Structures are given as C-alpha cells and as structure tokens.
Amino acid sequence: MRILLVGASGTIGQLVTHRLLARNHEIITGGRFSGDIHVDLTSKESIENLFKKAGAVDAIISTAGAAEFAPVHSLTPEINQTAVLSKLLGQINLALVGQHYLYENGSITLITGIMKDDPIPGGASAAMANGGVAAFVKSAAIDLKNGQRINCVSPNILEESMEDYGESFIGFTPVSGKEVANAFLKSVEGKQTGQEYKVY
C-alpha cells in the first residue's frame, strides 16, 4: 500500500515505519522539520499542501501531535492551546482533509495515549486532546464513505521511552514498541473501524 505517515521521525513514528516497510508498504513521510514532505499540523493550509504533494494514498497515519504539561491549577487557556491546535486539531484536520485524498477502503489511523484513561500529574491538556481524538474516531467511523475506515492507537509508555519520560509514569508497566507498531499495522491491514487500540 501507499501510506502517508506524519510524525515519522518520532520514537513511535520510526517503529511504525520499520514495521510497515517490513510488510513491503511504500511510505511517504511527513514531519515538521524532516521527512519527504514538511507539514505544520497546526495549519490547515499546510495540511492541504501536504496532501497535494503526496497525492492519493491507501492509508494515512499520524504518530504526531504536541501538548504542554502543566498542573491544572497553573494551566491557562493559552497553555492549553498547544494541545488543542496540534495533538487534537492537527490530527483531526489531517483526517478531515485527508479523507478526500484517500482511496476507496483506505484507512486513517491517529494516535492518542494512556494518560486519558490513567491520568498523570500535569497531563490534563494532553488527556483532553487524546479524549477528543478517540471520541472523534469512534463517531467518524459511522459516517465515512467508500469503505474508508478510521481507528486510533492509544499507547502506554514505551520501554524505549522510559529513560526520557519514566519519571512521569512511575508505576506504569511499559510496553514494547513492537506491540504499539503492531496496533498501527492492524489498523492499516485489518478491516476494523471506529476502534481505539489500547496497548496497555
């Protein structure tokens, strides 16, 4: 399949790329500062430009989206905007624009994260974005046309990320990157839609 992967340079993006290449898929990578096509997910125009350059694809995958971390008592509407514009709307706009560049029976796979189900301190803004994406996916699935599908993957903290982020996930049992990459593969090559694959 011809697959557009946004966020390919991140830890999960690299794992997903390897997994898909091993299945002989063609990957077009999109990223803020790297990849085949540069894209700023906070800009609808940039997302439209991404698809104009990429052309029609069989699958769209996002392993991207930023959010700021702050305890709620010091979280402001302004700080919350990073998650709104990037992790939430960046991904949803990728789906809304991308559906029109997606072949029949094509799939969209977005990324959420465990903190919406299992909160960590300072994670409310990211959790909000995760929850919004997951609910959008479940609901959008019943509306898509031409056999198009949409799912999301909600990863736990990865074994590969424990050194960098483990302090925020004390007591969480990390999962392997391979399991997370497999969930993306299931979404792409499987037939399910409206699912949130929780890799916990």
Which residues of the shown chain bind a second copy in the complex (CB under 8 A)? 44, 71-73, 75-77, 80, 84, 88-89, 92-93, 96-97, 99, 115-117, 119-125, 127-136, 138-145, 194
Angstrom distance (rounded) from CA 158 to CA 180: 8
Sign of CA dihedral 7, 99, 129, 86: positive
Judged by beta carbon, residue 144 or residue 199, the one nearer a second copy is: 144
Q: How far is the CB of 26 from a second copy (least distance, A)?
A: 26
Q: Which is nearer to a second copy, 9 or 43 (CB)?
A: 43
Least distance in angstroms from the C-beta of 17 to a second copy: 27
| Residue for token pair 């925020």 | 168
Q: Which amino acid is at 91?
A: Q
With respect to a second copy, which residue has the nearer C-beta, 29 or 125?
Answer: 125
CB of 112 to a second copy, least distance (A): 9
What whole-number distance in Å separates Cα of residue 132 and Cα of residue 127? Answer: 8
Tell the smallest beta-carbon distance from residue 78 to a second copy (Å). 8
Task: Name the token pair of 26.
Answer: 């063609």
User: What letter does residue 24 receive in the DSSP assignment?
Assistant: T
